[in-house]
A and B are shown apart, each in its own frame.
Chain A
Amino acid sequence: MSGAGARATGRDPVAILAAGVTTPVGADLDAFWSGLVTGADGITTIERFRVGDLRVARGGEIKKVRLRTGPMPRCRASALLFAAADDLLARVRLDVAAERLAVVVGTALGGVEQLEEALGGEPGLRSAAGALYDAPAHALARRLGARGPVLTVSTACASGATALGVGADLVRAGLADRVVAGGYDVLCRFVMRGFDALRSLTRERVRPFDRRRSGLLLGEAAALVLLAPETAAGPRLGRVLGHASASDGSHIAAPDPDGRGLEWAIRGALADAGLGPGAVDFVSAHGTGTLLNDRIETAVLKRVLGARAHAVPVNSIKGALGHTMGAAAALEAVMCLLASREGLVPPTLGYEEADPLCDLDYVAAAARAARPRVSLSTSLGFGGCNAALILEGAG
């Protein structure tokens, strides 16, 4: 694999010291990785809320959220964030003054269940502030004792990538010595109703890039990483080399048919990293399993990667987890780094039959032995949000 040796004009990389997650295929980082590489399927019948009136009643639901310390918060979004933070803190010490610790998390939905509750007349002064989408990020900051910047990013399903990018910017600008950054979202009736109404959910299995793909399924998760200056001491999982975002400016819900925004974001992230497309060893695709997304994403990757496009392995882990919205890009970034560390690229669960319009080297059927050093992670979201990350594994 080509590696990042050709970095020329990019800005300072930002170290990723460790990661913590909670997902439908595993309650912590080790279980998540094990689940991905063994082809575990996190899609089940949803049990936590009423789904009988919906066309589709399945998703990547976490059946039991576990916290190592403290009481379970009433807000499920906060609970998922706390679980991921517990996992992170089991792997690394924050080791920083409270004023120099920042929190940047991405979400599409915040604690929308709390908003539904508050709108339903739940009494109490705190319910109004707790109902706003940025409440879980502040709850996480309080739990971590962070007194630096606390930012909530909401670029829809690209939120996790944008949050990692904004977090990296805070480190690069010297505004924080450590940033807990990532994303989360909760599978709830609000979002299930919405996607059900849009007819975006499949009644079959999720099949990213497969000829028979017929839509996505939703999931819930949280993923956090600890960002630090490159000079930070100690072991690390990898580095953020570059990131960028771009707006489609074309449609409120559908991606730009030519993928112009995604292409801008990828090219911008490569420029930010000081790398050319030839440096990319692996692509973690957004890969939702919808007809449009996967075709557009394939076309964009072919334009950006050029002659090497068919030689670069591509995967999507949404077949295993469902689309975890604000958590998705953060989880996928972590997956890229683990792939580099473990020398194994997880399979695209559900991918079996090639589509002539999706003709890249998708990692299918089983995990592939490979040790990507430089990974590209792509994300798209409602509102024409596009984001790309360039990551380097510690190898």
Chain B
Amino acid sequence: MTGPRLTAVGVLTGWGDGVSALPADARTAAGARRVVPLAAPALPGERFRRATRECLLGVAAVDAMLRDGGLDRQAIAGPRTALVYVTAAAYGASNRAFVAAAGGGATLHFPYTAPSAVPAEVAIECGLTGAYVILLGGAAATVDALWQAGMLVARGQCDRALVLAVETFAECEDLYARGRWLAQGPLVEAAACALVVGPGSMATIAPASEASALEILVERRAGVTLACGPLIALALARDAGEPVARVTGRWRRRHAAIDVAVGAPDAAPAV
């Protein structure tokens, strides 16, 4: 069986734009910081007046992917592009803002508390009206999302699929400080988007017994980016000239793997 094929990828992290901005060692680079934040991009337009930071990051990640692929928004607009969004935590900030407003004061527009707000803003901004799936979880959920994307293409429900992940932590740093995953390294805010097309065959996901070399590399260089990790891994593999990336991702007790072709179109992965 063959899996999905990557044609473009955009990565934004607290370290900067693209994987070239990643330090050699995230823990060393973070120093005493528990969270490495990613500033909200300045997107023009009155339409964004209510949008949250994570929504803006989602749109910016898609734009970064388009720049990477030399594409414009027209290339992905319409019903033949699927959108698969993943996050473990990017609704925490809006939920906290809504909870905090219970005592009075400015109230966040309630629909922005939903995880679906991020892909909604992306879909509105880019004119995406195709298949639409939103998964919650960390890196293992992104492996599932890559599988979903490949399958949607393979079964003809779309011609291409965006796999988008956004993770923000700053507003809930005190909460995540109590989480055990912090022991592994700094939480690094990130937004990443991969454009996936299929060679036409079905992808598969498999249990992973151990972290792939790419997963280890992402954790070392980027830090803890949860759902964004597998997409950063794709960018690193592509830049390293790998034809096929074995992407693994952990979340809670699960470890999943998928092979993604990241090189030339004839380098379809065997899964």
Contact = CB atoms under 8 A, between A and B. Distances in A.
A173 B151 contact: yes
B129 A252 contact: no
Contact of A382 (B120, B205, B254): B120
Contact of A125 (B98, B178, B207): B178
Contact of B114 (A154, A166, A174): A154
B123 A194 contact: no
B242 to A, nearest CB: 25
Contact of B129 (A112, A128, A261): A261
B131 interface: yes
A118 B175 contact: yes
Contacts of A252: 50, 109, 111-112, 117, 120-121, 124
A334 interface: no
Given A132-B88, A194-B110, A383-B111, A138 B252 contact: yes
Nearest to A254: B111
A294 B83 CA distance: 26
Contact of B141 (A119, A129, A151, A155): A151
A197 B110 contact: yes
Nearest to A268: B157
Interface stretch (A29-37, A241-249, A362-370): A241-249
A383 B135 contact: no
Nearest to A121: B174
Nearest to B256: A149
Nearest to A264: B79
B175 A381 contact: no
Contacts of B83: 247
B133 interface: yes
Contact of A244 (B95, B157, B176): B157
B68 to A, nearest CB: 22
A216 to B, nearest CB: 14
A153 B134 contact: yes
A285 to B, nearest CB: 20
B91 interface: yes
A107 to B, nearest CB: 8
Given A149-B144, A251-B124, A245 B131 contact: yes
Contact of B120 (A150, A173, A384): A384
B127 A169 contact: no
B95 A249 contact: no
A190 B102 CA distance: 9
A247 B98 contact: no
Interface string B18-56: 000000000000000000000000000000001000000
Interface string A117-140: 011100111011101111000100
B155 interface: yes
Interface in B237-261: 252-254, 256
Contacts of B79: 246, 264
A110 B113 contact: no
Given A247-B129, A382-B120, A154 B134 contact: yes
Interface string A230-269: 0000000000000011111111110000001100100010
Contacts of B252: 129, 134, 138, 150
A361 interface: no
Interface of B: 50, 79, 83, 88-89, 91-92, 95-96, 98-99, 102, 107, 109-117, 119-121, 123-124, 126-137, 141, 144, 147-148, 151, 155, 157, 172, 175-181, 202, 204-205, 207, 252-254, 256
Given A129-B252, A155-B116, A253-B110, 12 more contacts: A115-B92, A123-B178, A132-B89, A134-B141, A149-B144, A154-B136, A166-B133, A190-B113, A194-B113, A250-B124, A381-B116, A383-B114
